[in-house]
Amino acid sequence: MELHDLITKITPANEKAYDACIYHFDHIAKPVGSLGKLETLLAKVAGASGTPKIDLSKKCVLVFCADNGVLAQGVAQSIHDVTTAIANSLVRHTTSVNTMAAACGADVFPVDMGMIDQVDGLIPHSIARGTNDISEGPAMTLEQAKQAILTGIHLVKERKEEGYRIIATGEAGIGNTTTSSAILSVLLDVPVEKVTGRGSGLTDDGLLRKQNAIKKALEVNKPDASDALDVLAKVGGFDIAGMTGAFLGGAIYGIPVIMDGFISGVAALLAVKLCPYVKDYILPSHISAEPAGQMLMEALGLDPIIHANMRLGEGTGAVALMPLLDMAAAVYWNAASFDDINVEAYEKWTSN
């Protein structure tokens, strides 16, 4: 099916399921709303899933791996070999996200979306062996961007068919804070300097090279801010495109998708630009320590509950939300109600 046809299938999340979850929480023997955002996040899971019978027993992380041609401009401390090393560690289950996911019972699915080096054990969906240098021309063709998005959608469909009920997004790709900053500068119409950070730890000179590479990319490519696909194809990356598809896939197939940090958030913003209803299916996890972290959340209208100055990537921030959701679900299913303890329910206070 064509990308446009899939997007037209997206509808708003189920309000009745959302309200039913909140109603159930209101009748648990505790002050009304006292678990705060944990309650509303779990209700969002219900709305996205279409049922208040919340099941988080099977969860996973999709880690999209890709290389970026803009590395040729010295925008990162590392070269593409580090993407390869991370991918090998993902296969060996030894990365940060692997160990964190194992601690909360989540499976990790690393995907080759377009790495320069081939790594055995990754799910093979390579669009090309890395993108082009955005400072010299488009990162990819429009057809490649659509193919990468469709891949992300398909991966969500596969996971749902395998019984997964919640999916986290992650990425691995040296140089992808550069592509993310380029996209965000265009979509929010803000200066490059305001959305560009040091990534994994650039020096002052390195940060200047990064900013200049992005400025040149925007000048050369002239991405159309009103066309999310055009922006993605011209200054994005295969990893970002795959995650954009994952967020769209969550909305298409009725499965909540947890957003990680800055790069994942840029993909979420692209997905919401393609279809505003997608926002109903996105669960924010943490606010990135990248300079544009707060700006991105405001653009999405989302409010992450983890404020830990995280900026690791791989989906680690998204996975960090999973134990919190598990605990909220434990209260939802197992805590006593007011009827159980023969106590009159608290009234729900509302302002005039």
Report the chain's terminal Cα–Cα distance, integer Å: 49
* Residue 27 counted as domain residue: no
* Residue 298 counted as domain residue: yes
Provide the β-strand partners of residue 59.
Answer: 106, 166
Provide the β-strand partners of residue 161.
Answer: none
pLDDT at 352: 47
The candidate with the shortest Cα–Cα distance to 71, out of 213, 265, 283, is 213
Could you give the residue ranges of the DSSP H alpha helices within 222-307? 228-235, 238-253, 262-274, 293-300
Provide the β-strand partners of residue 110.
Answer: 63
* Residue 6 counted as domain residue: no
pLDDT at 349: 62
* Residue 309 counted as domain residue: yes
Q: Evaluate whether 125 touches 245 at the Cβ level (below 8 Å).
A: no
Output the six-digit token pair for 159. 């996971």
* Residue 222 counted as domain residue: yes
State the angle between helix axes of 176-188 and 238-253 in degrees (0 to 180), rounded to the nearest 10.
60
**Annotated catalytic residue 314:** yes
* Domain, as residue range, for 118: 54-326
DSSP secondary structure letters along 81-133? HHHHHHHHHHHHT-SHHHHHHHHTTEEEEEEEEE-SS--TTSEE--SSSS---
* Residue 179 counted as domain residue: yes
State the angle between helix axes of 176-188 and 262-274 in degrees (0 to 180), rounded to the nearest 10.
40
For residue 293, give every residue at least 6 positions away whose Cβ sits within 8 Å of its Cβ, in sequence order, or none: 261, 262, 265, 287
Output the six-digit token pair for 224. 């159309």
Residue type, 201: G
pLDDT at 224: 98
Q: Name the stretches of the chain with pLDDT < 70.
A: 200, 349-352
Burial class (CB in 10 A: 0-12, 13-18, 19+), 154: middle
Output the six-digit token pair for 192. 């490059």
* Residue 8 counted as domain residue: no
In the β-sheet with 59-66, what is the strand arrangement from edge to edge? 123-124, 106-114, 59-66, 166-172, 257-259, 282-284
State the angle between helix axes of 37-49 and 15-26 in degrees (0 to 180), rounded to the nearest 10.
140
d(CA 256, CA 64): 18
- Name residue, tokens 């159980």: 340
- CATH classification of the domain holding 273: 3.40.50.10210
pLDDT at 206: 81
pLDDT at 350: 58
pLDDT per position as a tens digit, 176-198? 999 999 999 999 999 999 999 88
Output the six-digit token pair for 334. 């197992």
d(CA 231, CA 218): 10
Residue type, 332: Y
Number of domains composing the chain? 1
* Residue 341 counted as domain residue: no
d(CA 299, CA 124): 33
Q: Which of 161, 298, 314, 344 is catalytic?
A: 314
What's the Cα-to-Cα distance from 55 to each of 157, 190, 251, 329, rounded to whole Å? 17, 40, 17, 8
